[in-house]
Amino acid sequence: MTIIIRAAIILILTSTAIRPSPPLLIDGHVHITNRVYWEKIDPWKPQPIGDWDYARARQGGVNVVIENIAPYGYNSYNTTVKQTGRLIETFHRVLEANSARMELALTAADVRRIVANGKLAVILGIESGFDQEGDIDILRLWHRLGVRLIQFSSQVTNSYADSSLRGEPEWNGINDRGRMLIAEMNRLGIMIDITHATDAAQRQIIQASRAPVVASHVGMRAVCGNPTNMPDDILRALAAKGGVVGIHSNAAVISQRYFDWTRARSAGAYLSGRPEPARAEFPLLRSPNRDFGEYIGALDTEMGSLWRRLFGQQWPGPVEAEEIVPTEDEWAAHVEHAARIAGPAHVAIGLDLTHGRSTLKNFDARGYSRLADAIRKRGLPDIILGENWLRVMEAAKANQIN
Ligand SMILES: [Zn+2]
């Protein structure tokens, strides 16, 4: 009798116990919602063009992503907010239509629960501006809608921070509005992404933030001298605050040889294999103050056709440069350098895979295990594959003061 009772108790305990979470494999910087919005693709079907979709990432063993919606090109008064809102709505529609295989993660605990249930955990992030004027209520609204990471500087200099990509620096880094936004992001528990801010802005954001900050998709300047890459002193400062860097996969960010090749051939262009315009940014347009929808209508038409022209096709990549596209081992060299300078707890994956030969040799979202192998071959620990991202997410939340 006692044996039967004991067996029943064991059965109840094991069936109700929380399933152990499998090891995390996190890419902290991916993009797919913009394609859903502009190209109407099904991101859960492997796409014939482009390097990344949910379907192939799952095949590659990924169980957590930070998906970055990005209102590229919508830089003028209030259009950033409008486009960000549309993309967040698109993101939620995809979530609802695929609730059996993916779920929005608002906390680190959510991530573990969702992964343990066998689904893809998706953290929502914003690249390229949440509102160029830096309205604090808009920031709070996006948080309510599930946003847990924001790239602080957008792809153009805005009302609170200087961008390293486009627009002249205005603030010598960040200004008082920027500091107010950082305080609010800390309070809300939104991860602050310093990617694409100027070096000065990055230093000031790290200093001003009470929580760890991240650089979701960067290379190391000491390994490849691309000026958009991160210098060691900023990496040290970021690590001292507990932050993490995600290592990018772009060929001209990873490989000095590839960067030199593209620099020699297209002045100022650092992104390889992309049709003109070579930069990831769209024209900066300013709207007239008074209209009845004409401006946004014209802007949508312009941006839609630009998106399809730039991204609705595979980037062919220069055939003559095929031999010099970097390998995953060269990618791992950035991981190793960052680990040596900052410690392995401060390095992670942030590939920014997009539409073609911007990236590593013969690589797409099915290839994450090759990155894991390349890291292990250099004797680096598996926390780089996922746990580091989660630690920062947890720390951003722990910093909430109410
Ligand atoms: Zn970016």
| Ligand 1 center–CA 150 separation, angstroms | 12
- pTM value is 0.89
| Ligand 1 center–CA 99 separation, angstroms | 28
Burial of 127 (0-12, 13-18, 19+ CB in 10 A): buried
| Ligand 1 center–CA 217 separation, angstroms | 7
| Ligand 1 center–CA 58 separation, angstroms | 22
Least Cα distance to 94 among 148, 26, 147, 44 occurs for: 44
| Ligand 1 center–CA 148 separation, angstroms | 17
Q: What is the pLDDT of residue 78?
A: 83
| Ligand 1 center–CA 34 separation, angstroms | 13
Q: 102-116, 138-152, 297-311, 377-391: which has the minimum mean pLDDT?
A: 297-311
| Ligand 1 center–CA 7 separation, angstroms | 55
| Ligand 1 center–CA 59 separation, angstroms | 24
For residues 233-260, average pLDDT: 96
Which tens digits make up the pLDDT trace of 286-308? 556 666 777 788 889 888 888 88
User: Is 54's pLDDT higher than 90?
Assistant: yes
Whether residue 147 contacts residue 191, with contact meaning beta carbons closer than 8 Å, is answered with no
Q: What is the pLDDT of residue 294?
A: 77
| Ligand 1 center–CA 152 separation, angstroms | 11
Q: Quick one: pLDDT band at residue 359, thresholds 50, 70, 90?
A: confident
Q: What is the pLDDT of residue 270?
A: 40
* Placement of tokens 């920031």 in the chain: 139
- Helix, strand, coil shares of the chain, percent, nearest 5, are 45, 10, 45
Query: How far apart, in whole angstroms, are the C-alpha atoms of residue 301 and residue 303?
Result: 6
Q: What is the pLDDT of residue 71?
A: 94
Q: 3-17, 36-50, 108-122, 285-299: which has the minimum mean pLDDT?
A: 3-17
Q: What is the pLDDT of residue 380?
A: 98
Which tens digits make up the pLDDT trace of 115-129? 999 999 999 999 999
Task: State how far Cα 156 lies from the chain centre.
Answer: 17
| Ligand 1 center–CA 13 separation, angstroms | 46
Which tens digits make up the pLDDT trace of 252-290? 999 999 999 988 876 444 443 444 433 444 555 555 666
My answer on whether omega of the bond before 288 falls inside 30° of 0, hence cis, is no
Q: What is the pLDDT of residue 207?
A: 97
| Ligand 1 center–CA 352 separation, angstroms | 7
| Ligand 1 center–CA 1 separation, angstroms | 64
Q: What's 1's DSSP letter?
A: -
Q: Could you tell me the domains of the chain?
A: 18-398 (3.20.20.140)
| Ligand 1 center–CA 11 separation, angstroms | 49
Q: What is the pLDDT of residue 290?
A: 60
Query: How far apart, in whole angstroms, are the C-alpha atoms of residue 126 and residue 114?
Result: 21
| Ligand 1 center–CA 248 separation, angstroms | 9
| Ligand 1 center–CA 98 separation, angstroms | 26
| Ligand 1 center–CA 117 separation, angstroms | 31
Q: What is the pLDDT of residue 399?
A: 58
